[in-house]
Amino acid sequence: MKADPQPTIGSTELQQAVEQAVRRLQQGGLVAIPTETVYGLAADASNQKAVQNIFSAKGRPADHPLIVHLAAPSMLDASLANRSDAWFKLIAPWVRDLPEEAMRLVETFWPGPLTLVLKKDKHVLSAVTGGQDTIALRSPDHPVAQALLQAFGGGLAAPSANRFGKVSPTRAADVSAEFSDQADLLILDGGDCIVGIESTIVDLSSGTPVLLRPGAITPEQIEQQTGVRVLQAGARADSDKVTPRVSGSLKAHYAPNTPLRLYAAGAALDCISQYPDTKSHVALVVWESEQMRDPQVLGASHIHQIPIPEQSDLFASRLYRLLRDLDDHSWELIVMPEPPMGQEWDGVRDRLQRACFGSGPPVSNHVSS
């Protein structure tokens, strides 16, 4: 396995790393790439065998759709002065219907952590869409990912670069550790991911925009900046229609190997006390302003406090890194505070709830939806 030193944008090292990655992708291989959300395991979205290699490497169910990543048009087609026309030219080959609302979201939030689900064009591989008639598209806001996409000249299917259901990677080292048995995996090191959780997913395939996965971009922000109202899943009038399957929608996902539980405000010790068999090595995650001074805690040598930021964006950017680091230190139990209410916290709340459900040794956790 090769994890390249983090290249400087515009440097010869980056150019060489991108060229090597393009060759690997053209040959049907896999490349781990950085994005602003998490690291992705990328393959040529038009190559059936390459796409199937993603599922094999991750242990991912074949009916679980992938997100196709596209280059931004700024350098892709300089001949189109109108940015909207440039985006349309880029997206149109992948879809058979592109609603006006979708273009408003694209023009406002792409490149960025927003995935759109649309009706797919007939040429799109069924393996990419999990056998559905919809496709998920986004353009990542990361200079290394964009350099690769523009050099490659096509779409890249790229789910998170981890074993299916486990904690997503936000550092190149995470990918190396996850796929330590695959020595030939090429990893582009783009530094730590800034957003830290997967993209927001909005379904526009049935006329009414519906939120399928919360993330850093909230429905409130979308409506404020574009006028497009995004409903919660099940809130639309035609909610009896089948909702497209999307990445990260299983009840158990993003899960550490260590049992993970959430505690309500002021109830950390009550939460820990529910696990009397845990005699040592409890990781107690607390808000930075609320580190405990209680002698009952300080005197419990088996409880170790780890502070975490109280700002939703900082919390999100550090969440997966924290879970992976705690997993590496043989804790018997991880307890974390329940996120506050509010759309800005919905993304991390969603990830934590799924992580709790799937956490712990494989024999004891739940892996179905």
Cα 213 to its chain centre, rounded Å, is 10
Phi-psi map region of 324: left, alpha, beta (phi>0 left; psi -120 to 50 alpha):
alpha
Cα 66 to its chain centre, rounded Å, is 11
Give DSSP secondary structure letters for 204-242.
-TTSS-EEEE--SS-HHHHHHHH----EETT-STTTTSP
Distance CA 53, CA 79 (A): 36
Residue in this structure with the two tokens 């790439």, named with its chain if needed: 33
Question: Could you say which architecture CATH assigns to the domain 2-232?
Answer: Alpha-Beta Complex (3.90)
Report which of 282, 278, 262 is spatially closest to residue 354, judged by C-alpha positions: 262
Kindly state the greatest CA–CA separation across the chain: 68
Distance CA 314, CA 262 (A): 18
Distance CA 149, CA 276 (A): 51
Residue in this structure with the two tokens 């959430």, named with its chain if needed: 262
Q: Which residues of the chain have pLDDT under 50?
A: 1-5, 363-369
What pLDDT score was predicted for residue 237?
A: 54
Per the CB < 8 A criterion, the answer to whether 151 and 15 are in contact is: no
Distance CA 7, CA 189 (A): 7
What pLDDT score was predicted for residue 79?
A: 54
32 three-class SS: strand
The b-or-e profile of 183-192 (16+ CB within 10 A means b, else e) is eebbbbbbeb
Question: How do strand 303-308 and strand 210-213 relate by DSSP bridges?
Answer: unpaired
pLDDT digits (tens, 9 = 90+) for 204-215: 999 899 999 999
Q: Which ranges in 252-294 belong to alpha helices (H)?
A: 268-273
pLDDT digits (tens, 9 = 90+) for 218-234: 999 999 999 999 999 76
What pLDDT score was predicted for residue 368?
A: 36
Per the CB < 8 A criterion, the answer to whether 114 and 69 are in contact is: no
Per the CB < 8 A criterion, the answer to whether 332 and 281 are in contact is: yes
What pLDDT score was predicted for residue 296?
A: 58
Please give the order of strands across the beta sheet that includes 282-287: 260-263, 333-337, 282-287, 303-308
Residue in this structure with the two tokens 């998920």, named with its chain if needed: 136
Report which of 158, 192, 164 is spatially closest to residue 179, judged by C-alpha positions: 164
What pLDDT score was predicted for residue 364?
A: 46
What pLDDT score was predicted for residue 35?
A: 98
Question: How do strand 31-33 and strand 200-203 relate by DSSP bridges?
Answer: unpaired
Distance CA 114, CA 211 (A): 11
Question: How do strand 67-69 and strand 260-263 relate by DSSP bridges?
Answer: unpaired
Distance CA 285, CA 300 (A): 15
Per the CB < 8 A criterion, the answer to whether 98 and 107 are in contact is: no
Distance CA 287, CA 94 (A): 44
**CATH fold for the domain made of 260-358:** Rossmann fold (3.40.50)
Distance CA 170, CA 60 (A): 19
Question: How do strand 186-187 and strand 2-3 relate by DSSP bridges?
Answer: parallel
Backbone angles phi, psi at 194, to 5 degrees: -80, -45
Q: What is the pTM of this model?
A: 0.91
Q: What are the sequence ranges of the domains in the chain?
A: 2-232, 260-358
Per the CB < 8 A criterion, the answer to whether 308 and 315 are in contact is: yes
